[in-house]
């Protein structure tokens, strides 16, 4: 589950899950990091950001507070013996929890994790995960500076839903913002977001309903993540399997207050309707309502990904790839905007 941000000194911080015993989504998992000082060409040694014995620390959702330079990471914590089903049915030893991790020195060292579950998770929610993938900091309007981190939850009474977690103090404290449940046809899961030039936020969510004809859901927020403007709706025509994806506004949101400002919305994910293969980056000039066919980044098995804007007119995507399956390795692909096409 890759996630990538640029520290204030330009260092790229690539986060992932260090799954020790198997490739399963539970068990003994550490939150790990590699750093690059040359734009993703070479990477340093593996660094353990957080571990808790045989328990799970993963689903990284990092963001850098531009005012202080603090690197803020939200992560999911679970008992290593609990499966997803046991958490969903409240039959395990514990529930999903949320940890806050911070670095004041561009990712060199990390403060001890702080549990913020009570700030961001309602008591009735069972399954709860942040990200995975980068969170965002707003740059437009009266709430410029706010941190927004998408998450997903399960509620035994109302079903699954997405929620936007908000921080107005540089990541020190968090609260619940927008939250919404789907109709019976949709099941929003892992979610990503991007700020548009007019200050609105686009949310794109994995549709966990395996029987649905389309596997991506979309909604917006016009109040800095405090509420969703409408229920999540299917992204008809966006060819993607049931998988996580990443959004990125390719341009400076603060340059204009209109959605037609120079720039475009990018989306990375596998581009096959049924299988996790052929990672592509697709473009949208209408706030994610419609998408181009996109540019193929990695042929063959591919999984989770995270987009990042880089200096010099470059875009990077940190992504899972492999030969036999989609999670054999994590690659960083960097390319110029002109190679992304339209």
pLDDT in tens, 112-141: 999 999 999 999 999 999 999 999 999 999
Residue 262 clears pLDDT 70, i.e. is over it = no
What is residue 174's predicted lDDT score, i.e. its pLDDT? Answer: 99
Ordered structural domains, the chain, with CATH? 63-340 (2.120.10.10)
26 vs 183, higher pLDDT: 26
What is residue 123's predicted lDDT score, i.e. its pLDDT? Answer: 94
pLDDT, average across residues 90-104 = 96
pLDDT tens digits, one per residue of 159-210: 889 999 999 999 999 999 999 865 556 888 999 999 999 999 999 999 988 8
**Confidence class of residue 98 from pLDDT cuts 50, 70 and 90?**
very high
User: 183: closest CA among 130, 237, 235, 234?
Assistant: 234
**Confidence class of residue 342 from pLDDT cuts 50, 70 and 90?**
low
pLDDT, average across residues 237-243 = 93
Indicate the length of the chain as a whole number: 342
Distance CA 217, CA 236 (A): 9
Q: Give the chain's mean pLDDT.
A: 91
**Confidence class of residue 105 from pLDDT cuts 50, 70 and 90?**
very high
Q: What percent of the chain has pLDDT over 90?
A: 78
Q: What percent of the chain has pLDDT over 70?
A: 94
> Do 126 and 96 meet the contact criterion of CB atoms below 8 Å apart?
yes
> Do 34 and 41 meet the contact criterion of CB atoms below 8 Å apart?
no
Specify the pTM. 0.93
Residue 257 clears pLDDT 50, i.e. is over it = no
Six token digits for residue 58: 């993963």
């Amino acid at each position: 589950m890759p996630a990538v941000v640029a520290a204030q000194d330009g260092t790229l911080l690539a986060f992932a899950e260090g799954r020790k015993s198997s490739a399963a989504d539970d068990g003994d998992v550490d939150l790990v990091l590699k750093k690059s000082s040359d734009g993703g060409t070479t990477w340093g040694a593996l660094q353990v950001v957080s571990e808790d014995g045989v328990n799970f620390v993963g689903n990284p959702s990092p963001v850098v507070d531009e005012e202080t330079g603090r690197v803020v990471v939200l992560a999911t914590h679970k008992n290593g013996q609990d499966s997803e089903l046991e958490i969903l049915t409240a039959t395990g030893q514990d529930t999903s929890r949320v940890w806050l991790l911070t670095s004041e020195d561009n990712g060199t060292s990390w403060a001890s994790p702080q549990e913020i579950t009570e700030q961001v998770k309602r008591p009735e929610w069972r399954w709860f995960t942040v990200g995975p993938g980068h969170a965002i900091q707003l740059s437009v309007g009266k709430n410029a500076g706010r941190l927004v981190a998408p998450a997903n939850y399960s509620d035994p009474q109302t079903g699954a839903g997405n929620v936007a977690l908000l921080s107005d103090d540089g990541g020190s404290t968090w609260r619940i913002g927008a939250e919404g449940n789907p109709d019976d046809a949709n099941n929003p899961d892992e979610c990503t977001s991007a700020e548009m030039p007019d200050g609105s936020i686009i949310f794109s969510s994995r549709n966990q309903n395996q029987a649905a004809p389309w596997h991506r859901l979309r909604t917006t927020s016009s109040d800095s993540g405090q509420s969703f403007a409408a229920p999540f709706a299917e992204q008809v025509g966006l060819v993607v399997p049931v998988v996580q994806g990443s959004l990125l506004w390719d341009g400076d949101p603060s340059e204009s207050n209109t959605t037609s400002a120079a720039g475009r919305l990018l989306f990375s994910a596998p581009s096959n309707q049924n299988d996790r293969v052929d990672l592509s980056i697709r473009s949208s000039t209408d706030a994610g309502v419609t998408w181009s066919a996109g540019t193929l980044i990695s042929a063959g098995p591919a999984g989770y990904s995270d987009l990042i804007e880089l200096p010099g007119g470059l875009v990077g995507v940190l992504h899972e790839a492999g030969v036999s399956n989609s999670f054999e390795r994590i690659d960083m692909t960097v390319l110029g905007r002109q190679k992304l096409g339209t």
